[in-house]
Amino acid sequence: MDSETPSEAPRKAPGFDAFCWLLALATGALVFGVMLRTSSNLCPNDNSRWDTVWSLVEKGTYIIDGCPWPTIDMVRRDGHDYSSKPPLLPTMAAGQYWLLKKLTKWTIKDQTDLVCRTIMFTWNVIPLVVLIGLTGQLIARYATSSWWRVYWTLAAALGTYVTGYSITFNDHSVGAWSAGFALYGAVRVLYCGDRRWWVYLLTGVFAAFTVANQLPAAFFAVVLFVWLVVKQPKGTLLFGLPGALLVIGAFLLTLKISTGGFIPYYLFKQTQLYQYEGSYWANPVGIDALHEAKPIYLFNLLLGHHGFLSLSPVFILMVVSFVFALRDARAEVRHLTWFTLAVLVFTVVLNTLTTNNYGGVCQGFRYLIWPVPLFIMASSLTADAYGRPKWVRVLAVLFLCASVITAASCLDNPWSESWAEQLCKKHDWLWATY
């Protein structure tokens, strides 16, 4: 089927929509419930953003000197400290805090949990609910089996690190839902014949916002943009491009104000911005001081103590789906599979070559969280084909149980060691080299 020709989604099983949204709401309630019993400031990663939020509202500057929460994720420029995190997300959160403060008189320093949980409910819980619901719609488009529709929707809701990381103020879960929204919009345009202007607009907005939070997602956004321009140039250029440019402009503006230039701080790791006297990054320890051989690093990234497949084994089925999809008669399935495969390979290779510490003390390989909605969709593309044998379903249930256990353990604190990392270190296995 040509990608320019709208195609009908498979007929949905009775009640599947209701199941998707009830599961989405239940997952959102679970995440918010965990937030209510968890500190709003779990680690220096969170604190770096919260310090920026505090400083922008209380002092009108990106300088975080004297801010309430300690962090190692900062740089020093012209004698002042700044967060090393991309500035757009904390700037938008600061706007929300400013409004909260005006309406309620709450301050982030005195009513920390009230303010922080309100902000995280807005940026983490609500979008997570919508993401799960929309992902369920994509799954239903490709899987006709009710069993596999339910399976992959459960995996999307409870079996990945997107849910676990949603209890903290981070850019990975935000990147995931923005990528998921962009993907949903693109599928609507490319394959469902949806030509509404606001679908193009929001697809551009969310694709660009993914990049604003996860710079490696530029590959995802550029390929998606070119794909849309080739197939639907008018709507993409008239509405999608302006939406993307709006976000890009906001990102560059906040970057210029906060850094003095247009390059994020974290691309200057080996300069005096990071290597100043007293900086943690001048003398990192533990996992942050790793310099492993790249083959070992790649093994641990995929199958070892931070393994994408070992910690979330549901995605082993994605690899199986690739094999079936590349031989599928449907052009839509082949195109989406090649797109997913390209994003996966690009992200894995880029991070293998440019990182050395697996994202620091954290559960899983956090730089592979943002494409998870794409991976879930890709896994469901040929579920009807690879999922026919009963033994595959039995194995799939075991994979899902293991993935849910991993995601649930992450809910305690994403900025901690996973069970796989603890196991490797306990037994002093060769590939746990720190």
pLDDT of 325 strictly over 60 = yes
Reported confidence tier of residue 1, pLDDT bands at 50, 70, 90: very low
**Torsion 393-398-399-400 (CA) sign:** positive
Over the stretch 262-277, which tens digit does the pLDDT of each residue have? 999 988 888 999 999 8
Residue 339 in this model has a pLDDT that exceeds 90 = yes
Q: Which of helix, strand or coil describes residue 42?
A: coil
User: Residue 4 region, left (φ>0) first, then alpha (ψ -120 to 50), else beta?
Assistant: alpha
Q: What is the DSSP string of 241-262?
A: HHHHHHHHHHHHHHHHHHHSSS
Query: What is the dihedral sign for C-alpha 89, 125, 303, 290?
Result: positive
**Residue 151 in tokens:** 């399976």
pTM: 0.94
Confidence tier at 142 by pLDDT (50, 70, 90) = very high
Question: Beta-carbon neighbour count of residue 347 at 10 Å?
Answer: 21
Contact 398, 316 (CB under 8 A): no
Q: Is 433 helix (H, G, I), strand (E, B) or coil?
A: coil
